[in-house]
Amino acid sequence: MSDGRNRCTWCGDDPQYVAYHDVEWGVPLHGDPALFELLTLEGAQAGLSWLTILRRREGYRRVFADFDPIKVARFSDKKMERILTDPGIVRNRQKVESVVGNAQAILRIQKERRSLDDFLWGLGIGPGNAPTRAGTMSKRLRTEGFRFVGPTICLSFMQASGMVNDHDKNCFRYSEIDNLPAQLLRPPSV
């Protein structure tokens, strides 16, 4: 990018990608709908580029009721068939169907543990390196009934949601993220 700031090498120079890098990636993300959205998009990315998914994010928000897990958990088969024809998303049947099952898993977690936020942050932060924690997160999520949550997806989720600061050390965002107030990385309440 021509503004002279050092960025992570992965973000390239596409304006949408640069904006995502500069504003969102690696910033601590909280709230069940926001985390549900990111987990869904990370799963949708499997085998594709993040930019492909980022360009379709509004389509995902539209078809998946702004990631309200209560609404998504109730989607009918007929609604799912309509979603699979929508050009605003990646129309992979397994990935699309996993969103409803993941919403149902979120509702179970909310019923048992209070929030997806506490559950995920409880898995994503703590001792051990990020890939090890991502493997643990993947196993726990699968135990809870989630799909498209392998270790690579979980590591990418942890990076994007700010559970780890994986900006390149020479990236201007590295020190900004590293110096965020501690309350943004609040300890889980579970």
Please check whether residue 20 lies inside any domain of the structure: no
Please check whether residue 133 lies inside any domain of the structure: yes
CATH of the domain at 62: 1.10.340.30
Residue 54's CB is within 10 A of a number of other CB atoms, namely: 17
Task: Write down the residue that tokens 């973000």 correspond to.
Answer: 11
Q: What is the pLDDT of residues 53-68, one digit of tens each?
A: 999 999 999 999 999 9
Q: What is the dihedral of CA 124, 50, 175, 188, to 10 degrees?
A: -20
Instruction: Tokens for 8, please give them.
Output: 């992570």
Please check whether residue 73 lies inside any domain of the structure: yes
Task: Write down the residue that tokens 């640069």 correspond to.
Answer: 18
SS3 state of residue 95: helix
* 9-18, 73-82, 112-121, 181-190: least confident range: 181-190
Confidence class of residue 127 from pLDDT cuts 50, 70 and 90? confident
Confidence class of residue 185 from pLDDT cuts 50, 70 and 90? low
Portion of the chain with pLDDT greater than 90, in percent = 85
* 1-10, 128-137, 140-149: least confident range: 1-10
Q: Which residues are catalytic?
A: 20, 42, 50
Q: What is the pLDDT of residues 82-116, one digit of tens each?
A: 999 999 999 999 999 999 999 999 999 999 978 99
Please check whether residue 24 lies inside any domain of the structure: no
Please check whether residue 169 lies inside any domain of the structure: yes
Please check whether residue 4 lies inside any domain of the structure: no
Please check whether residue 18 lies inside any domain of the structure: no
Number of domains the chain contains: 1
Quote the domain boundaries for residue 103: 29-185
Please check whether residue 84 lies inside any domain of the structure: yes
